Amino acid sequence: MKRRNFIKHSTLAAGGTLIMHNLFAAKKEKVYGYNGMTYTLDTSWSKANAKDLPVNDCHEMVQDSRGRIILLTNETKNNILIYNTDGKVLDNWGHLFPGAHGLTLHNENGTEFLYITDTVKHQVYKTTMDGKVLLTIDPPLDAGIYSKTEEFVPTETVIDAEGDIFIADGYGAQYVLRYDRNGKLKHYFGGRGEGDTHLDNAHGICFDTRNNLHSLLVTDRTRNCFKRFDTDGKLLEVIKLPGACVCRPVIKDDHLYAAVLRSPNLDAVGTGFVTILDKHNKVVSNIGGSEPQYVDGVLQPMSQTDKIFVHPHDVCIDRDDNIYVAQWASGKVYPYKLTRA
């Protein structure tokens, strides 16, 4: 074989070998999930330096209109870390929130604001995107349902188009409280107790806009379910999720996503995963969890199957349907990214 042809064939062979190696490596990357809702895992997504930008519990995340991913942590050296989708830290701020827990983004006439709940200070705050506090909501001691400040432990908020603020008192007396835009209490419902109209660990709340419905989804984490209410507090539906101690519900297009803190109950340490429901509230995928199984239309108990998470606390779904997972009590790890496969 002439030298020129030998080099040509050798180069092609080497290139083919490299391509096959890359294909083999790509095939070996583990994919998690079921029914077309599958993802690859990046545990090193965050490029934050732990020395300069530490976290404690990574509680919740949102994506703003600029495409930035905003993380809330109860580390008062920097309660807020702002990332791009590649994990680079763009900004940080916040030293006021030792119990930073709930993070909600609300667009008010074209301007975005953040709502932060603090379980240590027993307050809810409305802030600008760079951290200026505009409104503080204190424990509603005049409402007749709280006798002392410590009984009000807000975990989440959601804001409607008129600016009314719905607060889930998920670690306190288990009420959902409705305030006007100025922080005046208008109404409340739920509360601790037995029966479907009551709540236990009302950890999260959001508006469900799927199927032309405009209703509130509220977490009942102890009872492994979400509960749908109208804005006056009338119970409309119970979405049972056996085996899943779910955190807040997050809506993106036709799907409902949620971090599952523990399974099957809150005593089971280190057993978290992520669950995804379709527009009919049927579980279609679990990330790090068992394949959803229905028998005669009834969802069977779910559980962790892959030890990729410890205690997932929230999910954020970006414009490309990738998922970012914030974790509580998990060794101060930064958020993980699940890239849609």
Could you list the mean pLDDT of each consecutive 10-residue stretch along the chain, which spans 341 residues?
45 44 58 98 98 98 98 98 98 98 97 98 98 98 96 98 97 98 98 97 95 88 98 97 98 98 98 98 98 98 98 98 98 98 96
Please give the pLDDT value at position 27: 53
Of the candidates 335, 318, 333, which has an alpha carbon nearest to the alpha carbon of residue 41?
Answer: 335
> Is the preceding omega at residue 312 within 30 degrees of 0, hence cis?
no
Of the candidates 144, 148, 236, 239, which has an alpha carbon nearest to the alpha carbon of residue 191?
Answer: 144
Please give the pLDDT value at position 29: 86
- 152, 169 contact by CB (below 8 A): yes
Please give the pLDDT value at position 282: 98
Please give the pLDDT value at position 330: 98
Please give the pLDDT value at position 209: 87
CA dist 334 and 325 (Å) reads 9
pLDDT tens-digit map of 83-99? 999 999 999 999 999 99
CA dist 98 and 131 (Å) reads 15
> In this structure, which topology does domain 32-340 adopt according to CATH?
Neuraminidase (2.120.10)
Please give the pLDDT value at position 13: 44
CA dist 30 and 26 (Å) reads 9
Find the helix or strand (DSSP H, E) in which 11 lies.
helix 3-28
